[in-house]
Amino acid sequence: MAIAMTTGYSAQTEGALRCIEAASDWAIACVDALPQQSAYTLIDYGAADGGTAVGLWNSVLDRLHERQPQAHYTLVGNDLPSNDNLALAANVALQLSRPPSPTVLVSCRSFYEPLMAPGSVSFGFTATAMHWLSQSAGALDTHTHVQASGDAEALSRFTAQAMRDWNALLELRSKELQVGGRLLTVNLSRDEAGLYLGHNGGRTRNVHDQLHQIWREMADEGRISADHYRAATVMNFYKSPDEFMAPLKDTTSAAYRNGLRLIDQRTVYVECPYRRRWKENGDTASFASGLMATIRSWSRHSFASTAGDAAADELYGRLEKRIAAAPDEWSLDYVEHHQMMEKVAA
Ligand SMILES: C[S@@+](CC[C@H](N)C(=O)[O-])C[C@H]1O[C@@H](n2cnc3c(N)ncnc32)[C@H](O)[C@@H]1O
């Protein structure tokens, strides 16, 4: 399924950077557990322009190099063909100038396809990417995001698609990993209380409801057609911890049969950095434009691809005004699930 981040991704997504930082302890734990060998392959699945993960890969490569100065390292940045892959190539190349000077590669394919040779990956990492579905789970009649829709039928349709996708993803990754290799997935999720990105239990407004309200308003005013209103659906899904762990607890799943095992999991909350800064400096205009831009970075494609650029621009203009008019009622808080896995001999 074609999805795309807006250009200048890492400049607009400080929250995603904080989410990667919050997972760096487990990334180091993963590479510390790798067996001693002469060459290692590391891959970042769904890296966007790679800017948010430069620090993480610095730390991981430093750690591996310290433990094994003679080994050769290969770092692969992956994202869709529609991504800004030139920017990704430039960001992974930032690792070249310092020891251990890895080989760097870019893989411009979907992570729903086999990406690496069987048994070749030592450490696989992904952040804030695998909530995107591989294909449409169908339209929503009354909302733009399934998890805010309250539509039970749509929810079961999206859950089924999300679980097919997650099983397929883990099967693919379980083939690519070497025995003894580790996979760390850092994904947007839904916690036990039902909280997810943009829904913090009512402390501030539900961001998905706000996007939908503006979209509905534009349909009511005739700025977009009824078809555009219905077709604009954000095709992602925030899984629960049980849903993330399911293929690793099911001993008949393909990933399990290939030797993929759960080591540990946790849910981590990352508070909105834009709101925190606004609380410190009271600069409402910067808060409104920064928060709007970070929401736009992941949602714009869903609106622009169905109703066009002008309609999408109007949506985000209205969103920025809403934030500026009531800043205390806005925040984009992240709920991320970390899952550490290892491949054992099957
Ligand atoms: C929110 S960005 C996260 C980028 C980066 N990992 C981070 O944490 O800052 C999500 C990325 O996932 C990518 N993505 C979505 N579906 C994908 C797929 N099927 N294959 C590869 N990348 C995908 C998008 O293109 C986008 O760049």
Looking at 202-266, list the stretches that DSSP marks H as alpha helix, in order from N- to C-terminal side. 207-220, 226-231, 241-249, 254-257
87 in contact with ligand 1, CB cutoff 6 A: no
**Interval between CA 189 and ligand 1 midpoint (Å):** 15
pLDDT at res. 9: 75
Verify whether ligand 1 is closer than 6 Å to residue 49 (CB atom).
Answer: no
Reported as a single tens digit per residue, the pLDDT across 16-42 is 999 999 999 999 999 999 999 999 999
For residue 46, the ligand 1 atom closest to its alpha carbon is 22
pLDDT tens readout for residues 219-228: 999 999 999 9
Kindly indicate the confidence band of residue 44, based on its pLDDT and cuts at 50, 70 and 90.
very high
Kindly state if the Cβ of 303 falls inside 6 Å of ligand 1: no
pLDDT in tens, 136-170: 999 899 999 999 999 999 999 999 999 999 999 99
pLDDT (tens digit, 9 = 90+) per residue, 271-306? Answer: 999 999 999 999 999 999 999 999 999 999 999 999
CA 48 – ligand 1 centroid, Å: 5
pLDDT at residue number 203: 97
CA of 291 to the centre of ligand 1 (A): 19
Q: What is the pLDDT of residue 5?
A: 53
pLDDT greater than 90 at residue 77:
yes
* The pLDDT of residue 3: 53
Q: Which pLDDT score, from 0 to 100, does residue 1 have?
A: 45
Q: Is the CB of 336 under 6 A from ligand 1?
A: no
pLDDT tens string 169-220:
999 999 999 999 999 999 999 999 999 999 999 999 999 999 999 999 999 9
Query: What confidence category does residue 12 fall into, taking pLDDT thresholds of 50, 70 and 90?
Result: confident
Provide the b/e sequence for 274-307 (b: ≥16 CB within 10 Å): bbeebeeeeeeeebbbbbbbbbbbbbbbbbbebb
Q: Is the CB of 52 under 6 A from ligand 1?
A: yes
Mutation probe of ligand 1 site: the residue of 42, 83, 237 with most atoms within 8 A of C-beta:
83
Bridge partners, residue 44, by sequence:
77, 125
Which residue in 15, 67, 60, 59 sits closest to 38, CA to CA? 67
CB-ligand 1 contact for 48 (6 Å cutoff): yes
Atom of ligand 1 nearest to the CA of 16: 9
The helix/strand/coil state of 83 is coil
Cα(329) to ligand 1 centroid in Å equals 28
Q: Quote the percentage of the chain above a pLDDT of 70.
A: 97
- For the chain, list the domains and their CATH numbers: 9-343 (3.40.50.150)
